Amino acid sequence: RMSRHAKKLRDHDINPCVAETDATTKCMNDNNYNKDLCADYFLKYKNCRKFWHGIMMQRKRSGVQPEMPSAEERKRILESMG
């Protein structure tokens, strides 16, 4: 069974970077945990976290709830950006 914390990390409405997390984990598994070979995946994950953290902080300052947009709302935000 997954812990409550692990379930939250897998929840697309809570964690906007599930796909990046999975891709990074797969790369590490496929490359015998050689971080150097997975640098691009780590960068994509870091950029994802940075981007959505900025959105979350902006919404928090504006009093928007919930602070993290839902998966559907995030999809619309990304589509509007091109």
Name the residue ranges covered by the structural domains of the chain. 4-80
Half-sphere exposure of 47 (CA within 13 A, CB side): 8
Q: Which of 3, 27, 28, 8 is nearest to 18 (CA)?
A: 8
pLDDT tens, position by position, 52-64: 999 999 999 999 9
What is the tens place of the pLDDT at every residue in 4-54?
Answer: 888 888 888 889 999 999 999 999 999 999 999 999 999 999 999 999 999
Cα–Cα distance measured from residue 52 to residue 44, given in angstroms and rounded to the nearest whole number: 12
Q: How many CA atoms lie within 13 A of 22 on its CB side?
A: 9
pTM: 0.84
* E-only strand ranges, the chain: none
